[in-house]
Amino acid sequence: MAIKERKEREKQEMRNLIIESATQLFLKQGYDKTSIRSIADDIEYSPATIYLYFKDKDEIFYVIHENAFDILDKHLRRHDGIADPFERLRAIGRTYIKFGLENPDYYDLMFIMRAPMEQIKNEEKWKAGECAFGYLLTTLSECLDQKRIRPADLHVTAIMVWSFVHGLVSLYVRERMCILMLPDDTTREVLYSSFDLFMANLKT
Amino acid sequence: MAIKERKEREKQEMRNLIIESATQLFLKQGYDKTSIRSIADDIEYSPATIYLYFKDKDEIFYVIHENAFDILDKHLRRHDGIADPFERLRAIGRTYIKFGLENPDYYDLMFIMRAPMEQIKNEEKWKAGECAFGYLLTTLSECLDQKRIRPADLHVTAIMVWSFVHGLVSLYVRERMCILMLPDDTTREVLYSSFDLFMANLKT
DNA sequence: TGCATTTACTAAACAGTGTTTATTATATTC
DNA sequence: GAATATAATAAACACTGTTTAGTAAATGCA
């Protein structure tokens, strides 16, 4: 009865094919322009076939959403070696901002768009998000223990840090930073200066 | 030749009718579900008629976007009387957050959605936004002059403050605060605690 | 007042979208 | 080899924003 296993494997391969095509199209032309029909065209199947492997468009983008969290996580974990928790926090923050600025479509899907959240609502917990957020929590916890940052409630501090970096990136990604009326590269510099100031204010 | 003036008045009245209907539908059921056809149904005209008064859907929502800025501005200006610039800044911040939490659809349109920004790109300046942001700048300028907040570049500080409160509100509005796994009213309390901590860190 | 012209409006169509259904072709089981 | 289960699709459904062509009413002018 190895046929069932092969079929299962083929089913997974088809899912991967769809996800790969969808990811590529999404990063090239954004969410709205990545239609089910355009994915179907790309993989040379009919649009209806996609619905044999995914419930709806949101489910496809939920998988891409999960993959994006893995990528961000890998970036953030690079700083595991930094012994000083405050300097590790600084590195994590800079990397988070850099990821957002360089991967605006991924960032949008992860933290701004409503689409993938419809899937998550019905889950026991937001695993991917909890992972990255958990990493922030442990780092901040160390900072507090070693009195490297101003004493305050851990969760309240975590929300403050995350909200700030998310605010920076999302205002940039959704084109609200134009009120500064600066060239794009200068805006990025101001963003990082703002992060430096935030970190300085956080310090004991 | 008063006919031309009457026609102009009637044209403006029709625009107002469309905007009023669109605003009402938008606040009731959100942007995506507010279709041109639903607006047309509501005002009892054909969908094509709307295009005689507005270039496209974005232009309608750009006007609503402008109105929303006027509303926020009125809320913020209530604190003009607070002499202490730091306490004024605190009041402005709390009001900004409160506005976002209580008017998530307006907030979305103003600071998150892409739709109205297509109109703004081609403008000499983002008047409404500049107004509210300008208010933040003058208040922060006073804070810096009176050494009520830590010395730093004015614009860098302004971006920091705005990014933080925007981050708070937008993570809440776009349902990312669920990682806290708290009941909704508790989440709001943590949000305000986070703001208090931010203000404490800002203080000299 | 009567006729020509402009204005206001709309029905219908166009080109898309996500999704479902009925049907066909293929593969597996007995 | 016949019956059954699986995989894929063409076509349709119900939407969307927007455009075009045609109609009815209001206006300008003689």
Q: Report pLDDT digits (tens) over A100-112.
A: 999 999 999 999 9
Q: At CA A122, angle to CA A40 and CA A131, rounded to 5?
A: 90
The answer to whether some atom of strand D lies closer than 7 Å to the beta carbon of B133 is: no
CA angle (B148 as vertex; B190, A90 as ends), nearest 5: 55
> What angle separates helix B85-102 from helix B184-202, to the nearest 10 degrees?
160
Cβ atoms of A96 and A165 within 8 Å: the answer is yes
Between chains, do A200 and B150 touch, taking CB under 8 Å as contact?
yes
Helix A184-202 and helix A154-173: axis angle, to 10°? 170
Report how far residue A114's alpha carbon sits from residue A124's, in angstroms, rounded to the nearest whole number.
18
At position B180, the amino acid (one-letter code) is L
**CA B71 to centroid of chain Cα atoms:** 8
Low-confidence ranges of chain B (pLDDT < 70): 1, 3, 121-129
Chain A residues with beta carbon closer than 8 angstroms to that of B120: 178
**DSSP per-residue string spanning A112-159:** I-STTHHHHHTSS--HHHHHHHHHHHHHHHHHHHTT-B----HHHHHH
- Mutation for B interface: A122, A160, A169, most B CBs within 10 A: A160
Residues 6+ apart with CB under 8 A from B95: B75, B76, B78, B79
What's the CA gap between B193 and A160, in Å, rounded? 9
Q: Token digits for A154?
A: 């851990």
Smallest Cβ–Cβ distance between B179 and the set A133, A168, A177 belongs to: A133
Interface test with A, best of B131, B140, B159 (most A CBs within 10 A): B159
Q: Of A78, A63, A72, A139, which is closest to residue A100 (Cα–Cα)?
A: A72
Residues in contact with A66: Cβ distance below 8 Å, sequence separation at least 6, in sequence order? A128
**pTM: predicted TM-score of the whole model, two decimal places:** 0.94
B77 touches strand D (CB under 7 A): no
Q: Which nucleotides of C are covered by protein (CB under 7 A)?
A: 7-13, 16-22, 28-29
Nearest-Cα residue of chain B relative to residue A190? B156
Structure tokens belonging to residue A117: 């959240």
pLDDT in tens, chain A (204 residues): 566 677 788 899 999 999 999 999 999 999 999 999 999 999 999 999 999 999 999 999 999 999 999 999 999 999 999 999 999 999 999 999 999 999 999 999 999 999 878 777 666 556 666 789 999 999 999 999 999 999 999 999 999 999 999 999 999 999 999 888 889 899 999 999 999 999 999 999
> Hey, are the CB atoms on B129 and A193 less than 8 Å from each other?
no
> In angstroms, what separates the C-alpha of B159 from chain A's closest C-alpha?
7
Q: Which helix (DSSP H) or strand (DSSP E) does residue A104 occupy?
A: helix A104-107
Amino acid at A25: L
Among protein residues, the one whose C-alpha sits closest to the C1' atom of C17 is: A35
The DSSP bridge partners found for residue B149 are: B203
Q: Do A164 and B163 touch (CB under 8 A)?
A: yes
**B39 CB and strand D closer than 7 A:** no
What is the Cα–Cα distance from A172 to A159, expressed in whole angstroms?
20
In the numeric block, the tokens 């299962």 are attached to A8
Residues 6+ apart with CB under 8 A from B180: A155, A159, B187, B190
Give me the helix-helix angle, B85-102 and B127-145, nearest 10°: 150
CA distance B160 to A9: 50
Residue among A141, A165, A139 nearest A82 (CA): A139
